[in-house]
Amino acid sequence: MRTAAERTTPPEPLPRALATALEDFLTALRVEAGLARSTLAAYRGDLERFFRFGAERGRTRVDALTADDLVDFLAARRAEGVGEATVAHHLTVARMCFRFLVAEGELRVDPSARIPSPRLRSFLPSLLSTDDVERLLAAPSPKHHAAWRVERDRALLEVLYAAGARISEAIGLRTDAIEPSLRVLRLTGKGQKTRIVPCGEKARAALLRWIDGSRMRIPGAAQRAEVFLSKSGKPLDRLTGWRIVKDAARAAGLPSDVSPHTLRHSFATHLIEGGADLRSVQEMLGHASIRTTEVYTHLDGEHVLAIHRLHHPRG
């Protein structure tokens, strides 16, 4: 039993390397997945608890953590009397963090890979209608921002929706990865894997308007390979990209939970509703497994009924 003094004593700060890994992971979740603050706070609590458990064993870097450390941590939580759902959540969050760090090149292997995964309920991201998407894409306005920023922001929003790109892929887009005549983009995703995705006429026009227009007047732009730059000529980071989407959603009068991932989810769902096959959508999203893509096929009931009436012989 902890004493009153122990309960009021703030915990020791995490070793710097572990704290950095934690913050990088949470920033990526906030920017790319648009998770609510309450969810991020819960993830932070889970990971801080696990990292402190590891630090007490002398693991001051994330690459020093092992599968045994994670298994022992989960066993310790069970011994403290927490429920299986909480233990399962600890494992899921730790696995998400390890996979992120592997994709970022910070880890060579995922220590949680061989630990059996719990089957937890997945949560679908928010979805925009095609009309809502049009409002969002048109939201950057000269009334609120300089002309150069309007061009840049509209081009970024178009790429996020037209290509179903993650925010990290969009801000990492290079000028030599654009094929205007073929109307395709070469995106670099998780694990540095590249894929070719179509780029519609509106997105292509917005990109070229930015690249051949205001971007040319930014200091040092000619020496930069990245498409999306700040006013000072630096490449955009994830947080800035996330804020651009949030600002556009606010200006368009859309819900506050709209994020870059909302556009990715809307891209996939609208394709499937339009008749695209799941394998093609999987390729465009860059999913290694078709099971990951299946989360985007939860179409509304009316659409499913309409498809059945149109195509089933006894519809």
Give the Cα separation of 210 and 200 in Å (integer): 16
Q: Residue 191's pLDDT is what?
A: 77
Task: For residue 249, give the nearest of 258, 241, 240 by alpha carbon.
Answer: 258
| Lowest mean pLDDT, pick from 157-161, 194-198, 242-246 | 194-198
Q: Which among 168, 160, 170, 173 has a CA at the least distance from the CA of 128?
A: 160
Identify the active-site residue in 152, 264, 265, 270. 264
Element (H, E) at 74: helix 67-79
Question: What pLDDT was estimated at residue 314?
Answer: 60
d(CA 262, CA 253): 15
- Catalytic, 287? Answer yes
Instruction: Determine whether 243 is an active site residue.
Output: no
Q: What is the pLDDT of residues 74-127, one digit of tens each?
A: 988 888 888 777 888 888 889 889 989 998 889 999 999 888 755 544 445 578
Give the 3-state secondary structure of 208-260: HHHHHCHHHHCCCHHHCCECCECCCCCECCHHHHHHHHHHHHHHCCCCCCCCH
pLDDT (mean) for 244-254: 94
Q: Is 265 a catalytic residue?
A: no
SS3 category, 187: strand
Measured between its terminal Cα atoms, the distance across the chain in Å is: 66
Question: Is the pLDDT assigned to residue 302 strictly greater than 60?
Answer: no
Contact 83, 104 (CB under 8 A): no
Residue 264 annotated in active site: yes
pLDDT in tens, 113-164: 888 755 544 445 578 889 999 999 999 988 888 999 999 999 999 999 999 9
pLDDT confidence of residue 118: 52
Domains and CATH numbers, the chain: 9-103 (1.10.150), 130-307 (1.10.443.10)
State the average pLDDT over residues 50-64.
93
Indicate if 261 belongs to the active site.
yes
Q: What is the pLDDT of residue 131?
A: 92
Helix axes 16-28, 37-56, angle to 10 degrees: 160
pLDDT at 124: 54
Catalytic option among 154, 166, 204, 265: 166
pLDDT over threshold 50, residue 22: yes
pLDDT the model gives residue 300? 44
Mean pLDDT of 42-58: 93
Tell me which of 99, 183, 186, 190 is the catalytic residue. 190
**pLDDT score, position 18:** 93
d(CA 117, CA 244): 35
The pair of three-digit structure tokens given for residue 126, joined into one six-digit string: 């928010």
pLDDT score of 61 more than 70:
yes
Tens-place pLDDT, residues 69-87: 999 999 888 888 887 778 8
pTM for this model (two decimals): 0.63
Question: Tokens standing for 197?
Answer: 């995705």
- List the structure tokens of 8: 């009021």
Q: How much is the mean pLDDT over the chain?
A: 84
Q: Are 157 and 137 a contacting pair, CB within 8 Å? A: yes
pLDDT of 200: 87
Q: Tally the residues of the chain.
A: 315
Which one, of 299, 293, 303, 174, lies nearest residue 235 by Cα? 174
pLDDT band at 292 (very low <50, low <70, confident <90, very high): low
Mean pLDDT on 195-204? 90
Asked if the model's pLDDT at residue 309 lies above 60, the reply is: no
Residue-level pLDDT at 297 = 55
* pLDDT surpasses 50 at 177: yes
Least confident of 111-125, 190-204, 273-287: 111-125
- Identity of the amino acid at 43: Y
Beta carbons of 260 and 249 less than 8 angstroms apart: no
In the chain, pLDDT over 70 holds for what percent of residues? 84
- Catalytic, 296? Answer yes
